[in-house]
Amino acid sequence: MNPESTPGDRPDVIIVGGGIGGLSSAFALARRGLRVRVLERAKEFGEVGAGLQIAPNCTRILAEYGLLEEAKTLGVVPEHMVMRDALDARELTRLDLRDLERRYGFPYMVIHRSDLHGIFLRACERAGVELLTDRTVVDYAHTDGAAVIRLEDGSTQQAPLIVAADGLHSVARRKLVGDDVVSSNYVAYRAAVPIEQVQDNGIAEKDVAVYVGPRCHFVQYALRGGEMFNQVAVFESPKALAGGEDWGTPDELDAAFEATCDTVRTGIPLMWRDRWWQMLDRDPVETWVHGRVALLGDAAHPPLQYMAQGAIMAIEDGWVLAEHYARLAAAAEGAGPDWDGVLAAYEAVRVEHCRRVLTTARAWGELWHLDGEARLRRNAIMRARDTYDYSFTDWVYGPTALTPDEEPSMFAPIPLSSAVVEDRSGTPTGAR
């Protein structure tokens, strides 16, 4: 490929993809003084979806960026996260989110995906990021000390660093790694409706409620200052298990939640039925950097949604990349950025952290969807947890690590076999 641009109009960084990961990374780098260009394939910037949960490891970064107060005006800071059994609605465990904020120094928030995207879009505009739409990148190549992209129209662009933030089906991931997406055989339905439509449905307006059931779960929380209500229904698709191509259809949605409690069943008819999201991820990979092309966000580490860390990890990626650029630029004393050093430091810390989140998300999904005696053992373990036990969140909700030695230790899993449950006669049964 032969780049057409001249050195005078080349940016320092080109970011491919204008979603939350791409825009947040563009802002992180621009605020460090870099000339950043974002290429978005759609005809306009925007996000599709409904609610997002933003844990303290992300609101900490929003605060540093000066964006947290704007996010608070658009989102909701809930009081508790409560997990219940989807069949009988009994409470299993909870997080006191106000105490959580005291522990980590920053709040747990929920916000509409488009609102968070809009916050970063406006921040990029203020920071002077070059924002280009209707640009589809189809290929990548390397040159000495730079990288080149080719667009669908045949033109090329070059920069010292190209960041591929183009999502689960990333062109760069396909070219540079070549792996396939992994289907969980689960599908997600979403809906965001005026809260007046659901206030008589037994909802908890000030909490994040998660109902976990056999091969399904249901999530509810308020959005936009309490004016809207977000719901997510996730279930295992029998059609997917049978190898069908058209799976996760509305008839399967209704069947999956037939046996659930009243609050869940009442919420199911409100789900959007003209669209659904098959729950896909990829196996973790250890190499995100290929020459001067770096994978970021879902292009590098698309997770299943159970940890609610997908968008957060992308925002963290950009923050880490920008922090290492700033550190090495200061050390260079005007000699020019050491992009190879920046990318090595980025990859050294983010790969392992995101691998942990991806694998934990898969395990968490399995735990949520247990049936039979395994479900009862899970419930017993969760009920035994103290509300103020943070051993399962410290590794992810604390400050984002910049170096591998800053990465906290993982939690110690509790085996299901250790649970004590009651049999049908009411007699406790211990580990087997």
Cα–Cα dist 203/219, whole Å: 11
Question: What average pLDDT does the segment 99-111 reach?
Answer: 98
Burial degree of 77 (CB within 10 A; 0-12, 13-18, 19+): middle
Within 13 A of 351's CA, how many CA atoms are on the CB side? Answer: 14
What confidence score (pLDDT) does residue 393 get? 97
The dihedral of CA 52, 56, 61, 67: what is its sign?
positive
Alpha helix stretches (DSSP H) within 293-399? 310-332, 339-368, 372-384, 394-397
Burial degree of 72 (CB within 10 A; 0-12, 13-18, 19+): middle
**Mean pLDDT lowest among 276-285, 289-298, 418-427:** 418-427
Cα–Cα dist 257/276, whole Å: 16
Amino acid at 222: A
Cα–Cα dist 351/286, whole Å: 6
Question: What average pLDDT does the segment 135-141 reach?
Answer: 97
What confidence score (pLDDT) does residue 299 get? 98
Instruction: Please check whether residue 313 is in contact with residue 301, taking contact to mean a CB–CB distance below 8 angstroms.
Output: yes
Bridge partners, 219 (sequence order): 210, 232
Cα–Cα dist 393/411, whole Å: 8
Within 13 A of 21's CA, how many CA atoms are on the CB side? Answer: 27
pLDDT tens per residue across span 394-428: 999 999 999 999 999 999 999 999 998 865 544 55
Q: Tokens for 44?
A: 């306009």
Question: What average pLDDT does the segment 198-202 reach?
Answer: 92
What confidence score (pLDDT) does residue 48 get? 79
Instruction: Please check whether residue 11 is in contact with residue 35, taking contact to mean a CB–CB distance below 8 angstroms.
Output: yes
Look at residues 52, 193, 37 and name the one whose alpha carbon lies nearest to residue 115: 52
What confidence score (pLDDT) does residue 257 get? 98
Look at residues 42, 39, 44, 43 and name the one whose alpha carbon lies nearest to residue 149: 39
Instruction: Name the pLDDT band for 355 (thresholds 50, 70, 90).
Output: very high
What confidence score (pLDDT) does residue 337 get? 83
Q: Tokens for 192?
A: 């965001």
Instruction: Please check whether residue 60 is in contact with residue 53, taking contact to mean a CB–CB distance below 8 angstroms.
Output: no
Parallel, antiparallel, or unpaired for β 293-295 and 161-164?
Answer: parallel
Is 65 assigned a catalytic role? no
Q: Tokens for 161?
A: 């660093």
What confidence score (pLDDT) does residue 420 get? 87
Cα–Cα dist 304/159, whole Å: 32
Backbone φ and ψ for 301, nearest 5 degrees, come out as -150, 65
Catalytic residue among 140, 189, 211, 221: 221
The dihedral of CA 191, 192, 197, 201: what is its sign?
positive
Q: 420: helix, coil or strand?
A: coil
Instruction: Name the pLDDT band for 429 (thresholds 50, 70, 90).
Output: low
What confidence score (pLDDT) does residue 3 get? 44
- Average pLDDT of the residues of the chain: 94
What confidence score (pLDDT) does residue 375 get? 97
What confidence score (pLDDT) does residue 428 get? 53
